[in-house]
Amino acid sequence: MPYLVTTHSSLRSLRTRIDKNGALNTFTVGRYLDQIATALEYAHEHGVLHGDLSVDTIFIRLDGQLVVADVGVRSLLEMDGLDKPRNQPLVWGEGYAPEQLLGKLSHPSTDVYALGAVIYHLLTGSPVFAGTRRDDIAQQHLTASIPSLTQHSDLSVDLYDTLARAMAKDPAQRFQQAGAFANAYHSAIGQTNSSRVPFTALLLGLMQQTHLLDNQAVVLQTVASNRNTSMIVCVAQSMLDIIEGVHGLHYHPLSDTCMDQGVIAYGDGYGLSGKGYLSTAEKHAALALSQPDATNAMHQHAALMNIALTNITGWVATMEQDLLHLRDHPTDLSPLQEVTTLADNAYRGVDANWNGQIEPVVGEAGALVAFQQGQLMATLTLAPAA
């Protein structure tokens, strides 16, 4: 007899979430959709179909991250039920696609159909089709269009069309990948790509740019020791470009002269200050915390993360003024040591109380701590590059 061993943990299902709080807003649903789509595409890439996706098989962890459970379990049940009629479901899900009900071959778009039913349920608070008997519900899955969203004034016609395509009766008419459905969903609700970026991705950008800034501070020290004023100007400008991004007041593309001297690091253009990584990460974290599913643990880690962001903001602001002075007065190296120290603080943090560790407290935490705390509170977790 086939069997499956899995970990046991106390999690809340999406059905429990809906029963307690009702329909979810489009932003929260979008966050959930991105996570579910990622899980499904990973499974599909490895040749596994879910086969029974529903609000009962998706769970919410304490940190707000979703867990898609029972992946591939339906195929195990079918292996143990070969004596049953092919068109008789071995288990019942509210998002069974027509091909499943008819005993035909399933494929990734079968999971997309079920995902469409899940998203409809999350947005409206009700299953896409209802009835007193399973046969009645099954018949609707086979022949009926999905119910209109007109009674939900905040849900657009474009969103209805997206859901209708995801749940098309003909598999060929559906989105062929869960990610394509997710992209269409966000387009339908008018959500930009930047607003879909999990703030851990912004914190990853922050970490990478502060690391680059720290490296450039070492280069600045080297060229300053040689009293190479033209190189001092170039490196100082490159660090200003990393800090301010392309929209910064003092941003200036590096000249050919700088490039010829090997100064080519200027950041990714997004910047740290102004509307760059620092403020945007804080804004996105606040948006995540404003959602009804935000946990106390998320709020605690967010507070520690914001301490780190505030530290970095202060260090970067002081560094920016020092770099402007070095760029405009390259023979006066008095700000050099402060720049080097602050750049290192911004990336690594500083052990201000000499206890052997950098803690998420005022005056100590830098980008590494901010990223760590962001991961702990995040609904989507990214790993830093090696």
pLDDT at 218: 96
pLDDT at 67: 85
> What does the alpha-carbon distance between residue 353 and residue 360 come to, in Å, rounded to a whole number?
12
SS3 350: coil
pLDDT at 6: 62
> What does the alpha-carbon distance between residue 287 and residue 300 come to, in Å, rounded to a whole number?
15
Residues of the chain with pLDDT under 50: 81-91, 379-386
pLDDT at 246: 87
How buried is 67 (Cβ within 10 angstroms: 0-12 exposed, 13-18 middle, 19+ buried)? middle
pLDDT at 78: 53
pLDDT at 76: 54
> What does the alpha-carbon distance between residue 216 and residue 131 come to, in Å, rounded to a whole number?
66
Q: Which letter, b or e, does each residue of 173-194 get, where b requires 16 or more Cβ atoms within 10 Å of its Cβ?
A: ebbebbbbbbbbbbebbeeeee
Q: What is the pTM of this model?
A: 0.56
Four-way CATH pick for 12-195: 1.10.510.10, 3.30.70.20, 3.90.180.10, 3.40.50.11710 = 1.10.510.10
Domain boundaries, the chain: 12-195, 199-377
Under DSSP, the state recorded for 82 is T
- Report residue 57: phi and psi, to 5°: -110, 10
The size of the chain, in residues, is 386
